[in-house]
A and B are shown apart, each in its own frame.
Chain A
């Protein structure tokens, strides 16, 4: 009888060890995936407000017309057509990543949230200004308070970017 109980105890112990080991492996894998998602999400967030393909170009009346770009200024022309996975540096496709960008609760770019599969979603809110097309230097100077007039070139808003594993 004692031998039987001892055997059962040993089997339980081995089972516990295996389970603990599996838990550790699973936890490590989850952490790696989480870190990867965070990396992709942070990069996408930075590119959303810093990629010249997405942000506003500044034009001057004096040639050459384009004199630079404005960080944290998103070009809303073409229904935010410039906000794409490629411009956000997000690898897309099966087993890769997907994204969505919302402005004040309305989706302006990307895909719908996944509902069928539980997933971790990385999110960042960015405070930006919007401009419909390139910003004119004179309009920018008015907004910055360096010229008289009312600021119509830029409007402040909040963008929320969400990135998840597809």
Chain B
């Protein structure tokens, strides 16, 4: 019987080669590295810088920020810290809006 192309020794060697190559790639992909892998998130850097710049009276440039971003973060933050201030509360009522001293007049 004449041998078909696929069922030849060459084809079998070819399949074996592909199998070994795929196994090697899978092994390399899945193997653990020797030590801990640290992945770091920097999502918060900008808002952190804006708030700290606000606390310490630093200019946006000092904190590596643009004026627009710093101003926006400052206004947002001022809104949060002044929502509640027992010093300005009226007896039996919700706290009155706080003064704007912390926010430099914003």
Contact = CB atoms under 8 A, between A and B. Distances in A.
Q: Do A and B bind each other?
A: yes
B15 interface: yes
A99 B7 CA distance: 58
Interface in B8-23: 8-9, 11-12, 15-16, 19, 22-23
A33 interface: no
Interface string A58-75: 001010101110111100
Main SS class of interface, A: mixed
14 contacts: A5-B8, A5-B12, A16-B19, A23-B30, A45-B44, A62-B87, A71-B81, A113-B36, A122-B41, A123-B39, A128-B48, A129-B56, A141-B102, A144-B104
Question: What are the 3 A-B residue pairs with the smallest beta carbon separation, nearest first?
Answer: A145-B57, A127-B48, A2-B7
Contacts of B32: 118
A76 B72 CA distance: 29
Interface residues of B, number: 48
B99 to A, nearest CB: 10
Among the interface residues A15, A115, A125, A164, which one has the most CB atoms of the partner chain B within 10 A?
A125
Interface of A: 2, 5-6, 8-9, 12, 15-16, 19, 23, 26, 38, 41-42, 45, 49, 60, 62, 64, 66-68, 70-73, 113-115, 118-129, 140-141, 143-146, 151, 154, 156, 162, 164
